[in-house]
A = this chain, B = another copy of it.
Amino acid sequence: MPPERTRPKAATIHDVAAAAGLSRGTVSRVINGEPYVSEEARAAVESAIRQVGYVPNTAARNLKTKRSRAVGLIVHEPHPLFLEDPNIGAILLGTNSVLSKADYQLVSLIIDSERDSDRVADYLGGGFVDGVIVISARAGDPIGRAVTAMGIPAAFVGHPPDLEGIAYVGIDNVHAAHAITERLLLTGRRRVGMIAAALDRDSGRDRLAGFRSALGERFDPELVVDSPLYSYRTGLEGMRELLKRAPDIDGVFAASDAIAAGALDALREAGRSVPADVGIVGFDDSAWALRCQPPLSTVRQPADLLGQMAAQRVLDQLDGKPSAPGGTMLDTEVIWRESA
């Protein structure tokens, strides 16, 4: 006896039509809420649907309509970062809320290997989604290129440095980094360094650029260390290195809160007190910022809004609205606490 694993074969529109004593066309009209259906017919179909337990087969519908009412969100993060990045969750939720209101299904796809990258590209090409949002794309990112090459409606969160003419939303990292560095300088620091990260992304590059421009003449490349990841470890090791290179350092801009948290611990282990000996500022205003000792001065970025706007950009394209390609920059805010 074969194991009983046959799912009760799903009812089709045909079964519903039979049960209701009407044609498939009429059933289809009811399902899609179209006009020109009599009240009786509608009622009969609706009861038949419940009776046979009908669920529309979306594959068939997609095949016919060429639309899926789904939007993909591609997250391309190296492992450790994915787990720590406080913004991703908020972006996701923001995106979902906008899409949900428009009755689109958000499907998140994570890329964690080259294999994933290829499979996701196929998935996108296969008509599973009508549009796509890409977050944290990096320079030379194959998925970013694939998306633009396919011509599928898309919006990027952040701006991959090597892609032209795309729709994206982001924050002005240069400006934000400049602002917080300037504020740090206001506390009277003389030797200010930076722990940079992710220089292959716009966010990383731009934060460094902002830092540099705020320092102007005083910028000293010796006082900048960098690493690929916005992580605690980056902060820990970066700060140790900075301390070695310049024992008299008295101010640090960490490219993220997680990095700042690591730097704080390195400072603690070196017996420096914050903010008395060294002032430190972060970036993100994540949950971490408040829980550090002392609480972090940092830059707040509106992650949920970023997600919402990216979703809206895709929706606009789907509706055929022009939605001028190019970027939308959202404002950030310096949050001043006690770490500097």
Contact = CB atoms under 8 A, between A and B. Distances in A.
Interface of A: 3, 5, 7-8, 10, 55-63, 68, 70, 79, 82-84, 86, 89-90, 92-93, 96-97, 100, 103, 105-110, 112-113, 115-116, 119-120, 122-123, 125-128, 150-152, 232, 261, 265, 287-288, 291, 293, 317, 320, 322
Contact of A57 (B83, B97, B105, B127): B127
A263 to B, nearest CB: 12
> From DSSP, what is the main secondary structure of chain A's interface residues?
helix
Given A57-B127, A100-B113, 19 more contacts: A55-B122, A55-B150, A56-B122, A57-B63, A58-B123, A59-B59, A59-B68, A59-B126, A70-B123, A83-B86, A93-B112, A96-B116, A105-B109, A105-B123, A107-B107, A107-B109, A128-B128, A232-B287, A288-B291
B265 A7 contact: no
Contacts of A86: 83
A112 B232 CA distance: 30
A301 B228 CA distance: 28
B93 A7 contact: no
Contacts of A57: 63, 126-127
B320 A291 contact: no
Which interface residue of A5, A107, A122 has the most chain B CB atoms within 10 A?
A107
Given A123-B105, A287-B232, A58 B100 contact: no
A287 B82 CA distance: 12
Give the number of times this chain occurs in the complex, counting copies: 2
Given A58-B126, A107-B109, A84 B120 contact: no
Given A79-B93, A83-B89, A128 B59 contact: yes
Contacts of A107: 107-109
B68 A322 contact: no
Nearest to A2: B320
20 contacts: A3-B320, A8-B151, A55-B122, A57-B63, A58-B126, A58-B128, A59-B62, A59-B63, A59-B126, A60-B63, A83-B89, A92-B110, A100-B112, A100-B113, A100-B119, A105-B109, A106-B109, A107-B108, A108-B109, A128-B128
A83 B287 contact: yes
Contacts of A90: 83
A120 B83 CA distance: 25
Contact of A112 (B96, B126, B150): B96
A166 to B, nearest CB: 15
A103 B61 CA distance: 25
